[in-house]
Chains A and B, each alone.
Chain A
């Protein structure tokens, strides 16, 4: 029956469209796969890194099992995710690393996106070397000594310079400017995706080879490949204002959640729950590690975490 009704609706509405009546607001259009079997659906955006998958997995688990929603996830990069959020293609973004330009445009000017509070996790970007290397050469963890060791980091890609490996193009990075402004004898090699970067780091670590990489915390890989941060010139407010002239470390960023404004207002229990969703770096890592290292499905990992942390998530529902 439902099928026939849909077909009828489809036929009628396409007729209405062809006659050209009325405006069609794209922000009011949901995914065609949403609400498939009459359930209330929440669409969450997942970014490409595992930490973000962990947030979404746990939120999804609780939305589905405690609140009776159906959850759709869409994987999009950070900036397009803001776009999708503003258009209502996704309802919530659970881990944002700071996009002042988008915040200004969508939250302050257009008001299509609402601040959803903090995630409870603090993010930090930096340069890292494997701990086995830092033990061998303790002074390698200061940027001033990096040139002395650049020969250790040579690869076919970087030629006669040391290789500084960067990851996905969607991540915030000042590395090219940093290398130039700190006069380092290094070449930034872009792995192009986090998957490629992680795979390469694990291969290096397996053979205990030296490597220098752009990386960030919280990240599950630290548990598999212990790494030590290289000290860059300290971060001061505003020192990264001009992307060409940056010569300082990356800041510590409290990660934030954002909701589509319409969803925040009318999203009922789901919106209230997502606003309260707040956990710690340890929690997130626990779930991430289950997903990425033990290769559990995000669903199973979320269930396992939820079973052992009832008191944490009960608070989000009150």
Chain B
């Protein structure tokens, strides 16, 4: 009971909600007063009662054995999965061979000219520079492999996503079915479904492409449905009054009206596919991700960075170009656009043929610049001088030690010491106060599912790491975000930094993180912060900047200082954005829990890595499922009702 009375002060709520929140809590307290003694009498308090767990290891191990034994002979595999896998191999190969046949000059020209047509001269230059940089770093062939895989995965994701989105956008019943599925996919960490995919398709490109599609299709589906549902009612009525059929309406009005959302969907899909293409290196995707992963084995940060930079460049270029294409959509079409496309096309063909004739299809080896050595020297210097014994402030290892003993340990121990029903009650209270009874129920069920899966203790360990990481991320993120919102120069300077950290494959900074903080939970938290910080900073800055200038001016004319303005006008008005930042911070931190498992974070992240490494479906899948449940719970607990209402539009 103490847990309930303790929770309200933690949530600072504006006056209007307060009475309703109090009612909800009161109701919850009454329910708890009846249920808790019952539960306590039936099952002991303390950790999750073993009577309420279900052991999935037996059936999962059986399923895994069945798949391995029948993979080469069962009709399901021969006539279905086999063909799927075959089509993927053929498609990737076709794209890859095409890219190789065009040669490096041709590919660079193609990229630059497409960027020129859809996004303008500056981005065209950027694209060309990015491709040339990939070559200079000696990563041309891996870049092409990743690109080939990406092209196939993105096309497939867009098609699948659009079909799902159409279904959800046109039929309310499909929407009700798909919405929770897509919501869940949103918080599903990428590592969690590598294992089942590998089991069915085996190591290699088909598995990697399919995992990428599963990961990248949901945003497309979401945005397609959103675009279809958001179409202006009056326009649709006007079109309907012209006597057009449903299909005509869809093709001539609803889809064109939704093109902004569709392009945003493509943009999101590309970004997610790229990040997954790197993670999929673990299951044999080849390409750049594989280079990063192999460099990790020889503890070679420089080599990992050489493969990581092309990924960052590709991501930034693809993001900017698709983003610019989306912005251009609303504008008037340029005159003679067809002629310019033709010019672009001829340019590409000319460059490709010239490259062929010159016999320069492969990137010349003499043009490769080795960056590995200086980078490694820099990392060595950094770790040698910062690790410990820095006067006054102590070394990074000392900080990590203090953080572990003073923050992580008490948090983990107190979470694990809470009775299981206490944890459920806290979750219910938090989720209900901020959302509806539905979100609260989902959150509680997700948390209970973790107990049923039998991984209560490690999940709370992971939860403590996630909460600690999010707390630090939010403090730093809000501070930097507020500073960036107040200074244009700082925001411009931050942009490339944030881009790099958002797109850099996490494998690259595993070694520096361990070198600075030692093995354990502290480096896992550090890696999570690095990954989640850019999004939090971005959302905070954007939220603050979108605050109505009139409100600011009004308060300014009343003589408020700039600090008062921030505290009393900007921050309260940006509250939805700040809550979104909290929500995104949590989801992102959770997404890299598995990466934390690679540096000593233990708990669920380690179990997923273990499952993948040992082909142990039971351990890996259960831990992956628990991460999903944690994600669902945290998402619901931090998802304000306003946001849900908007989504349902």
Chain A interface (Cβ < 8 Å from any Cβ of B):
2-3, 6-7, 9-10, 13-14, 17, 20, 23-27, 29-33, 36-37, 46, 48-50, 53, 72-81, 83-84, 87, 89-90, 105, 110, 112, 155-157, 159, 165, 168-170, 189-200, 203, 206-207, 291-292, 295, 297
Contact = CB atoms under 8 A, between A and B. Distances in A.
Given A76-B284, A170-B614, A200-B514, A3 B600 contact: no
Nearest to A50: B298
Contacts of A76: 203, 283-284
9 contacts: A17-B87, A76-B284, A77-B613, A77-B614, A157-B519, A170-B614, A191-B519, A292-B299, A295-B302
A29 to B, nearest CB: 5
Given A3-B97, A199-B514, A291-B298, A89 B615 contact: no
Residue of A72, A84, A199, A207 ringed by the most chain B CB atoms within 10 A: A199
Contact of B83 (A24, A27, A46, A77): A24
Nearest to B204: A89
B510 interface: yes
Given A14-B87, A83-B615, A191-B599, A36 B68 contact: no
Interface string B575-600: 00000000000000000000011111
B101 A23 contact: no
Interface string B4-20: 00000000000000000
B388 interface: yes
Nearest to B614: A79
A83 B372 contact: no
A24 B79 contact: yes
Contact of B148 (A32, A50, A83): A32
B101 A2 contact: yes
B247 to A, nearest CB: 24
Given A76-B284, A192-B598, A26 B92 contact: no
Interface of B: 68, 71-72, 75, 77-79, 81-83, 85-94, 96-98, 100-101, 145, 148, 198, 201-206, 281, 283-284, 286, 290, 293-294, 296-300, 302-303, 372-373, 376, 383-384, 387-388, 397, 400-402, 404-405, 409, 510-511, 514-515, 518-523, 596-602, 605-606, 609-610, 612-615
Contact of B72 (A25, A89, A200): A25
Nearest to B201: A26
A168 B613 contact: yes
Contacts of B606: 169, 190, 192
A297 B294 CA distance: 11
A74 B600 contact: no
B284 A84 contact: yes
A160 to B, nearest CB: 11
Contacts of A73: 294
Interface of B is mostly: helix
Contacts of A33: 92-93, 96, 145, 148, 205, 286
A36 B100 CA distance: 9
A297 B307 CA distance: 14
A10 B202 contact: no
A165 B599 CA distance: 12
A34 to B, nearest CB: 9
B128 to A, nearest CB: 23
Contacts of A7: 94, 98
Nearest to A54: B298
A89 B79 contact: no
B611 to A, nearest CB: 8
B96 A169 contact: no
B283 A80 contact: yes
B71 to A, nearest CB: 7
A31 to B, nearest CB: 6
B79 A2 contact: no
B299 A74 contact: no
Contacts of B605: 192
Contacts of B100: 36-37
B520 to A, nearest CB: 4
Given A33-B148, A84-B204, A156-B404, 20 more contacts: A17-B83, A17-B87, A24-B86, A26-B72, A29-B86, A32-B92, A33-B93, A33-B145, A46-B294, A75-B284, A75-B293, A83-B68, A84-B202, A84-B203, A157-B520, A193-B598, A195-B598, A198-B299, A203-B518, A295-B300
Contacts of B404: 156-157
Contacts of B75: 23
B514 A32 contact: no
Contacts of B383: 203
A14 B90 CA distance: 8
A192 B206 contact: no
Closest 7 CB pairs of A and B: A24-B82, A170-B613, A32-B93, A156-B404, A169-B610, A23-B78, A84-B203
Contacts of B520: 155-157, 189
Contact of B89 (A3, A32, A50): A32
B609 to A, nearest CB: 5
Contacts of B148: 32-33
Nearest to A35: B93
Contacts of A105: 68
Given A50-B297, A196-B519, A196-B600, A36 B96 contact: yes
A37 B201 CA distance: 26
Contacts of B78: 23-25
Nearest to A291: B298
Contacts of B294: 46, 53, 73, 75
B599 A26 contact: no
